[in-house]
A = this chain, B = another copy of it.
Amino acid sequence: MSFSPLIVQLMDSLQCLPGVGPKSAQRMMLHLLERDRKGAFKLSEALQQAAEKVGHCQRCRTLTESDICEICSDPRRDAGLVCVVETPADVLAIEQAGGFKGHYFVLMGHLSPIDGIGPEDIGIDQLLAQVEGDEVQEVILATNPTVEGEATAHYIAASLRKLGVKVSRIAHGVPLGGELEYIDGGTLMHAFAGRRELVD
């Protein structure tokens, strides 16, 4: 004996969510069916609409249901400055930090030859075409400081340099509020290599 077919189907489907295994799925199912049917209907509707209508911005490739996303269509933002990131979550993190007023280009991943993800899969040709065609002065590479993110940054930098555009990489070092004794060695070495002279 187990739960009835519709309940089993719901628990199976919940397990497509990252970090949700059989036990969490059961807990979610009981919560939704016993205490929050309205939430279940709302979530069902939201999933259906988003999965159907959300696509990619034609300019920066971020997730959006518009043809051109909010940032790309904002005339107050500086189109001469393009920040390259791996995911839409990175865009949000940078926006929440505030301060950056340029455009973005979202790779939706990183180069990963092992998984068969090459330059065309992360839209590098589209990025090059935009940089070439538009009035871009600087491209800031903000991919993750992981092996794949670094390799992707290097590849893009090499491709962009041929077009004569300024290319920069965000600084890596000790995070604000971080305590030196708890920072890993790689980050510390980056922080030393990237040191800047103090001038008054």
Contact = CB atoms under 8 A, between A and B. Distances in A.
Contact of A63 (B4, B48, B54): B4
Nearest to A69: B4
Interface string A135-152: 000000000000000000
Contacts of A34: 63, 87, 108
| Most B CB within 10 A of own CB, among A5, A47, A71 | A47
Contact of A41 (B7, B48, B65): B48
Number of copies of this protein chain within its complex: 2
Contacts of A31: 17-18
Nearest to A94: B1
A150 to B, nearest CB: 22
Interface residues of A, number: 56
Contacts of A3: 63-64, 88, 92
A16 to B, nearest CB: 3
Given A4-B70, A63-B7, A64-B4, A41 B47 contact: yes
Given A4-B63, A4-B64, A7-B54, A43 B36 contact: no
